[in-house]
Chains A and B, each alone.
Chain A
Amino acid sequence: MQAPSAPPALCGSALFLSFCLLAALFETGCNSPLPGYGKGAAGISATSSSIRVNQKLQLTQVQSGPLNYSVSGVPGGNAVFGTVSSTGLYVAPAVVPSPDTVTITATSTEYPTATTGSVGLQVWNPIPVLTSVTPSAFSEGTTAVQVNGSQFVFGAQVSWNGALLDTTYVSSTELVASVSAPNPGTFPLTVTNPDPGSASATPISVIVGPGQVVLKLDTSGGTDVRVSNSIALGLTVNGTNNAGVTLAVNGVANGNAQWGTAAIVNGLITYTAPAVVPTQSTVISGYPNIVQLTVTSQDNPTVAIAQNISVMNPIPILQSVSPSSFASTSTTPATITLTGTSFISGATVLVNGSAVTTTFVDGMHLTAPADISELGNLDVQVMNPAPGPSGSEDLVVTVGASQPPFQIVKPADAARFLEHATFGATDADIRHLSTIGYQAWLTEQFNTPQTPTEPAVEEELIVNNPPCAVGDLKCNAALFVQNTQNENLVQAQFWQQALTGKDALRERIKYAFTQMFVISSDNSTAIQYMPRGEASYYDMLGAETLNNDKIEHGVFSNFHTILQDVTLSPMMGQFLNMLGNDKGNATTDPDENYAREIMQLFTIGLWQLNDDGSQKLDANGQPIPTYSNADVMGLAAVFTGFGWNVPGNTTDTAWSSCCLYEGTGFGEELLPMQTYPSHHSTGTETVLGQSITLSDPTTDLNAALSIIFNHANVPAFFAKQMIQHLVTSNPSPAYVTRVAQTFEGNGQYGTGVRGDMKAVITAILLDPEAQTPTIDSDVTMLKYGKVREPLLRYTEWARAFSAQSRNGAFNLGSTEDPIYGLGEMWLRSPTVFNWFSPGYTPPGTTISTDNLLAPEMQITNVSTVVGFINYMQNAIGATNTQGPDVFSNYTEEMQLAGATDLDPLMDRINLLLMAGQMSPTMYTAIESAVSSIPLPTNGDTAAMNAALLGRVQTAIYLTMASPDFAAEQ
């Protein structure tokens, strides 16, 4: 704060500051006129150097005669600096000005050129007034208190027993602070306003009573752990000075070798899992791998909390395959022996990604048959079974000596195709696809079912929360439909399937559909609170069957079916408000949200389209709208009368309340919405030029969806967007036309059925334009491809290097932060418009001046580009002991990293991450950086492994940081 006084030497001059003028008077003892003051000098003085806000102060006039007053240069002052009357009565402003000192100057009215008098005053904050503390009494421990009164200034602090607390300023009458009171007693609480003029209110006494012990566990680090590994749980003990606890696992003090052990390490509870997964159910019937950790207060042993922990199988480590090569082919399958560690009974060997009959010898040996009937390489991998299924790194077995293996598809082409069709190419998928060809691979993938995520989410919810009694609806509701804590569980299931699912094509297409038929748990608390519902929406997109209706469902079925399933999903119903949409009456209209967006975003868009995706134009050359607001209102009326599916109950109670029936494996958030006919609109509505006389909700909805599905825009609208998601941002009109015609049932891949998704996906992926990048006539600039979205760049890394979850949970936490995450997260886009819009073009760039699109550039900005590189540094650096939960061992790559010739290492990374498209300059630069890491020559194995790992990580990091990788061609 400013010093309230100034050196006497300055007095008498017309400078700012304080009551030194008056002080000078006393010091010299002289009478007016002051020395140095001539006739008409307008000397003034004040009795104080400071004044609190809103207070008044009468200034003293040194010589008589009328004066004109100003405050900080403003005649008469103003609300900011305070006002001064013609008689010298100064009124301070309501708020401390900046700077906090005001200067009041006076000039003689009669002698305006004579010496000006001035007084500086520092304006002080008010003295706070304290009226109440809520609660006015509480138990020992930590308590949030609300403090009310008046005259609180921003920066005011609550003080407790003489110590200032971190305080939240709510308003001038309310503050909030967290009081830590370890002992019972009576303590003073007050409020102190900040400088200038810092002052405290009269204290209030607060009574702190004896405490009730409250234990709380922090499980944000997860509750899954693989055998022999440890996890840490945070513990807070409130309401007592004795924070000591005792620990037990399945009732055994500090645990044992069978159930795992628990101990306090550095203030955290560390649970170390047993060497093998327990086989006897103890906590929850049917879940032998779940153990229960119990924490009991030493101060009050009747207070205890329990936490379930899932023990998972280890990640298998594959060290060698014998034999590692076969000199020639044979029609008789050979037996291969796989050697490593952490193999579990039930482990499966995968050859080129397909499971073969496996014999478990012991924890270090497996045998399996290998088909060596064709020349080429076999990619071999071991999968350990659930709980916590995981794969090893892969090793390669060669068949035939040095002759180039016969391949239907070249590896680089296979890798490129897999970038389009999956969450990222793997060595196994490349080899498998190379061998069987595109059509066979697609057929195989069309027939590979998904692993649903909802049961896994439900299991995690049960494991992580206290069990509900049968029929305890309140408890069930809290667990399943009002659950604010478990978004990470849902995300983890997505990651697990995206990174390791064998239904690689289905997972990728499901993901693309979530970017068109968007739901989001961001800004929609209803979805965020329903982790099972969120998961089941994703499962619905991949399910082959639903509701026992004998119709094919999911992303490989028909677009019409998908449209119906999405429309009736209670999660979509929540997100775009069709759920509970009531018929109109004299004062209300039906909600238009879903009606508008299903047309604008999901199916037809705003403008009539040609089959090549371009806009149709009218006689005046203007684009033609697809619908009017009347169509929106008509469709909104159709979409009324659908609500939560409470079987057998269509009462108004079920209509207006969420989730009357909840339980394990069952609940309204999992079932398609049901009809409430009394809430369905009546009358006749026009939808896209066709009239629907409303009668029955389902009949009317089906009629409307048929009109939309058969609209001429749908094929091109869908074709272009799906191509953009999978292949390239700017497909040629001919490419869009070919896919749109397939949608209509025609063309090379058409099946005669409109909306056949298998045909459409095949047409997109096998189109010549997808398989051979189109080079623009401007040869200096390739305009083909797209920016890879950051989430897909991450999955490509994880799949390429067989990344596994250390804990078995695939818990990556939130990835949506633009600086500290990927700037993107599944089912978490900010709005229904997805993370990026299909029509986005980055302004002020060659992309926009060339009239091209780059949707993913919408989330490419100065924050996200840096965030991504740093995020990948962390991800690539994760190991089996530290870093993010998903890590890679880089076994195969490390075997290549010690060679004098580093080309094989570079070739592998180039193939897996960039389909062999890395520029020669970058290839050389990275290879040189890799070779700058010296290899130890003293035989130190650990140092050698660290160097090899550093080389591999360097190569991957630099590749993934490059703009070259960010653009997929």
Chain B
Amino acid sequence: MSKVNQSRRQFLRSASLASMAGISVSPFFLELNSVAALAQGTTASDYRALVCVYLQGGNDGHGTVIATDSDSYAAFTQARSGAPSLAYPLADLLPITLQTPQSGRTFALNPYLTGVQNLFNAGRAAVVANTGTLVAPATKAQIAANSVTLPDSLFSHFDQTAAWQAISANLGSGQHTGWGGSVADAIEAMSMNSNSIFTCISTSGNCLFLSGNSSVQLNVTPAGPIPIYGLTQPPFGASAASNPLNSILTADETNLFAQEYQNVINLSMKAQATLSTAMAPAGAGGVANAPQYLDPVTAKLVDNPLAQSLQTVARIIAGRSSLGVTRQIFFVELGGFDTHNNQAQVHSQLLTQLGSAFEYFDGLMVGAGLSNQVTAFTISDFGRTLTCNSNGTDHGWGSHHFVLGGAVKGQNMYGQYPVVGVNQANDLGAGRLIPTTSVEQYAGTLASWFGLSDAQIRQIFPNFANFGSNPYLGFMG
């Protein structure tokens, strides 16, 4: 056992005892949060948050951001002629106009991305084109000649998700820390947060992205953090004076698995009281509830789980002062993008949900005056094939991503949108795109905005220097 970990466990244990000792809950304090909700916070100008939106399963970038100049669009429809429902009619596509044109080409978004189109045209969203996992720039010829190092296990969900979330020299899946967690470690090292357990928050399960060496991740559901009821009131009639639950939950464990399970319990007990008080309520008096979205398949209004996750994020951001944080990294997840089958329907539902959730979240941040301080961005397992099976697409590599927020130099596209078509320069086969922008450039650009120095960034992203003298993409203001 290393000393680092020993001290961390010690920290968790003593911290949990401190929280047990009792942090008083002031009703007035809660009210402040509720009324002023997001806008409150005296040090608002110091605050910054990154919100990672993980499109689980591998989003079809080809069908998300579409080149509409006649050559590109013709190649797109030709490649998708086996499943015409995946080649959207030109008239249905949602045009976007770039502030910096890409050599005469025109672009549009998937017909179900109205929400993103609105944000894009309002200058609060940008596209980062053909981004993917790379060790170094790779060309088709280099790959054919086996003269360039490639990430391990391309096209595998598990491994490519790991490669996106956990940057490492060889991009293998054996990594246990993610770049969100590494950035949080740097924030902790700079003492930017007085209470670092609230730096990394996942509204999903445990994610690799937020796994750091010293930082921890908290999982928060819309229900908020709830207490272990039996701690305060023994449930079956035992006397409160002799309630041994706390000592049982914190006793010295000998078994490794019991120890680590216990550490999670202790972290939970430590975070619960503070977070449940600090978090703004949902709905009236707090953060407005997420609107339902109109399911394009069933034509029914349905709940938007992604927007609800982003509401949870906003509720925590509202409590940032009480949490003692000036930097936070969030992870939210929308599943279902592995559209091997029935893609037209599934993708339309997911993108509608995504656009609606983004618009809702942007509205919350603009309304709170935090738009310039909160940046959301998408990641996914990989892109998908340009060609299709009878009604879906398969695992690809490079893909197009969205960055969102007031600090984004919006209404623009960063990175090179590839020539569309099978057997083009960036096609590894079946339209599996060889990325021209690396995840590390994408991530490094965000980390730089977040406040990390160039040196810190180059330490976290070991392949950063492989992408030119200035690998930053410039999409952040």
Binding site for B on A (CB under 8 A): 79-80, 95, 98-99, 154-155, 168-170, 174, 176, 523, 576-577, 580-582, 584-593, 596, 600, 606, 625, 629, 632, 729, 780-787, 817-820, 830-831, 833, 837, 839, 841-850, 852, 854, 857-867, 869-870, 873, 876-877, 919, 921-922, 925-926, 928-930, 932-933, 946-947, 949-951, 953-954, 957-958, 961-964, 966-969
Nearest-CB residue, chain B, relative to A867: B226
Query: Which residues on B sit within 8 Å (CB–CB) of A592?
Result: 340, 389, 394-395
5 closest pairs, A vs B, by CB?
A: A588-B82, A843-B211, A587-B82, A950-B237, A967-B258
- A–B Cβ pairs within 8 angstroms, 12 of them: A584-B389, A587-B81, A629-B155, A844-B5, A846-B256, A865-B265, A870-B229, A929-B243, A932-B238, A946-B237, A961-B248, A964-B253
| Also in contact, A843 and B212, with CB within 8 A (given A591-B340, A863-B220) | yes
Taking a contact as CB atoms under 8 Å apart, the answer to whether B226 and A866 are in contact is yes
B68: Cβ under 8 A from any A Cβ: no
Taking a contact as CB atoms under 8 Å apart, the answer to whether B248 and A589 are in contact is no
Nearest-CB residue, chain A, relative to B181: A843
A66 CB, min distance to chain B CBs, angstroms: 31
Taking a contact as CB atoms under 8 Å apart, the answer to whether A844 and B254 are in contact is no
Taking a contact as CB atoms under 8 Å apart, the answer to whether B177 and A843 are in contact is yes
Query: Which residues on B sit within 8 Å (CB–CB) of A581?
Result: 389
| Also in contact, A830 and B219, with CB within 8 A (given A781-B1, A844-B177, A926-B244) | no
B135 CB, min distance to chain A CBs, angstroms: 14
Which residue among A581, A862, A869 has the maximum number of chain B CB atoms within 10 Å of its CB? A862
B56: Cβ under 8 A from any A Cβ: yes
Query: Which residues on B sit within 8 Å (CB–CB) of A865?
Result: 261, 264-265, 268
Taking a contact as CB atoms under 8 Å apart, the answer to whether A964 and B258 are in contact is yes
Nearest-CB residue, chain A, relative to B224: A819
Stretch at the interface among B21-29, B91-99, B364-372, B442-450: B364-372
Chain B interface residue number, banded = 35 or more
Of B227, B267, B368, which is within 8 A of A98 by CB? B368
Taking a contact as CB atoms under 8 Å apart, the answer to whether B155 and A596 are in contact is yes
Taking a contact as CB atoms under 8 Å apart, the answer to whether A629 and B154 are in contact is yes
Query: Which residues on A sit within 8 Å (CB–CB) of B125?
Result: none
Query: Which residues on A sit within 8 Å (CB–CB) of B159?
Result: 606
Which residue among A837, A839, A843, A929 has the maximum number of chain B CB atoms within 10 Å of its CB? A843
A372 CB, min distance to chain B CBs, angstroms: 38
Of A593, A854, A870, which is within 8 A of B226 by CB? A870
B152 CB, min distance to chain A CBs, angstroms: 8
Known: A839-B173, A861-B264. 17 other contacts (CB 8 A): A154-B363, A169-B291, A587-B387, A588-B387, A842-B206, A844-B214, A847-B256, A861-B206, A865-B265, A869-B230, A919-B254, A930-B238, A932-B238, A954-B235, A954-B237, A958-B244, A961-B228
B221: Cβ under 8 A from any A Cβ: yes
Taking a contact as CB atoms under 8 Å apart, the answer to whether B228 and A831 are in contact is no
B290 CB, min distance to chain A CBs, angstroms: 10
Query: Which residues on B sit within 8 Å (CB–CB) of A591?
Result: 340-341, 389-390, 392, 394
B187 CB, min distance to chain A CBs, angstroms: 15
B288: Cβ under 8 A from any A Cβ: yes
Of B177, B230, B341, which is within 8 A of A961 by CB? B230
Of A588, A841, A968, which is within 8 A of B176 by CB? A841
B140: Cβ under 8 A from any A Cβ: no
Of B213, B218, B258, B294, which is within 8 A of A844 by CB? B213
Nearest-CB residue, chain B, relative to A583: B390
Q: Within B1-43, which residues are at the interface with A (CB < 8 Å)? A: 1-2, 5, 8-9, 39
Taking a contact as CB atoms under 8 Å apart, the answer to whether B430 and A849 are in contact is no
Nearest-CB residue, chain A, relative to B214: A844
Binding site for A on B (CB under 8 A): 1-2, 5, 8-9, 39, 56-57, 78-83, 122, 153-159, 173, 176-178, 181, 202, 205-206, 208, 211-221, 223, 225-230, 234-239, 241-245, 247-249, 251, 253-265, 267-268, 271-272, 288, 291-294, 301, 335-336, 338, 340-341, 363, 366-369, 385, 387-390, 392, 394-395, 429-430
Of A632, A780, A949, which is within 8 A of B254 by CB? A780
Per the bound structure, the CA–CA distance linking A966 and B259 in Å amounts to 10
Per the bound structure, the CA–CA distance linking A154 and B367 in Å amounts to 11
Taking a contact as CB atoms under 8 Å apart, the answer to whether B292 and A168 are in contact is yes
Query: Which residues on A sit within 8 Å (CB–CB) of B5?
Result: 844-846, 849
Per the bound structure, the CA–CA distance linking A699 and B106 in Å amounts to 50
| Also in contact, A859 and B205, with CB within 8 A (given A625-B153, A958-B244) | yes
Nearest-CB residue, chain A, relative to B218: A862
| Also in contact, A860 and B369, with CB within 8 A (given A581-B389, A588-B389, A925-B247) | no
Taking a contact as CB atoms under 8 Å apart, the answer to whether B242 and A585 are in contact is no
Taking a contact as CB atoms under 8 Å apart, the answer to whether A523 and B288 are in contact is no
Per the bound structure, the CA–CA distance linking A933 and B253 in Å amounts to 27
Query: Which residues on B sit within 8 Å (CB–CB) of A820?
Result: 223
Taking a contact as CB atoms under 8 Å apart, the answer to whether A873 and B229 are in contact is yes
B186 CB, min distance to chain A CBs, angstroms: 15
Per the bound structure, the CA–CA distance linking A842 and B256 in Å amounts to 12
Of B223, B237, B294, which is within 8 A of A170 by CB? B294
Per the bound structure, the CA–CA distance linking A428 and B215 in Å amounts to 47
Per the bound structure, the CA–CA distance linking A859 and B207 in Å amounts to 10
Of A168, A587, A600, A957, which is within 8 A of B236 by CB? A957
Per the bound structure, the CA–CA distance linking A297 and B157 in Å amounts to 55
Taking a contact as CB atoms under 8 Å apart, the answer to whether A950 and B268 are in contact is no
Per the bound structure, the CA–CA distance linking A1 and B78 in Å amounts to 56
Query: Which residues on B sit within 8 Å (CB–CB) of A596?
Result: 155-156, 395
Query: Which residues on A sit within 8 Å (CB–CB) of B368?
Result: 98
| Also in contact, A922 and B251, with CB within 8 A (given A596-B395, A841-B176) | yes
Nearest-CB residue, chain B, relative to A837: B158
| Also in contact, A782 and B260, with CB within 8 A (given A831-B335, A933-B237, A954-B238) | no
| Also in contact, A833 and B244, with CB within 8 A (given A593-B394, A961-B249) | no
| Also in contact, A523 and B272, with CB within 8 A (given A589-B387, A782-B254) | no
Taking a contact as CB atoms under 8 Å apart, the answer to whether B251 and A785 are in contact is no
B105 CB, min distance to chain A CBs, angstroms: 24
Taking a contact as CB atoms under 8 Å apart, the answer to whether B57 and A831 are in contact is yes
Which residue among B1, B2, B218 has the maximum number of chain A CB atoms within 10 Å of its CB? B1
Of B83, B212, B241, which is within 8 A of A588 by CB? B83
Nearest-CB residue, chain A, relative to B212: A844
Nearest-CB residue, chain B, relative to A169: B291
Taking a contact as CB atoms under 8 Å apart, the answer to whether B82 and A585 are in contact is yes
| Also in contact, A873 and B230, with CB within 8 A (given A782-B255, A849-B1) | yes
Per the bound structure, the CA–CA distance linking A844 and B177 in Å amounts to 8
Of B39, B82, B226, B241, which is within 8 A of A819 by CB? B226
Of B153, B268, B301, which is within 8 A of A862 by CB? B268
Taking a contact as CB atoms under 8 Å apart, the answer to whether A606 and B156 are in contact is yes
| Also in contact, A577 and B341, with CB within 8 A (given A782-B255, A844-B5) | yes
A431 CB, min distance to chain B CBs, angstroms: 28
Which residue among A780, A820, A861 has the maximum number of chain B CB atoms within 10 Å of its CB? A861
Nearest-CB residue, chain A, relative to B240: A932
A840 CB, min distance to chain B CBs, angstroms: 8
Taking a contact as CB atoms under 8 Å apart, the answer to whether A589 and B388 are in contact is yes
Per the bound structure, the CA–CA distance linking A847 and B256 in Å amounts to 7
Taking a contact as CB atoms under 8 Å apart, the answer to whether A862 and B267 are in contact is yes
Taking a contact as CB atoms under 8 Å apart, the answer to whether A958 and B257 are in contact is no
Taking a contact as CB atoms under 8 Å apart, the answer to whether B335 and A830 are in contact is yes
Per the bound structure, the CA–CA distance linking A858 and B264 in Å amounts to 12
Query: Which residues on A sit within 8 Å (CB–CB) of B267?
Result: 862
Per the bound structure, the CA–CA distance linking A154 and B283 in Å amounts to 13
Of A170, A841, A962, which is within 8 A of B292 by CB? A170
B388 CB, min distance to chain A CBs, angstroms: 6
Nearest-CB residue, chain A, relative to B81: A587
Taking a contact as CB atoms under 8 Å apart, the answer to whether A950 and B394 are in contact is no
Taking a contact as CB atoms under 8 Å apart, the answer to whether B244 and A928 are in contact is yes
Query: Which residues on A sit within 8 Å (CB–CB) of B225?
Result: 862-863, 866
Query: Which residues on B sit within 8 Å (CB–CB) of A784?
Result: 255
Nearest-CB residue, chain A, relative to B406: A80
A856 CB, min distance to chain B CBs, angstroms: 8
Query: Which residues on B sit within 8 Å (CB–CB) of A841?
Result: 176
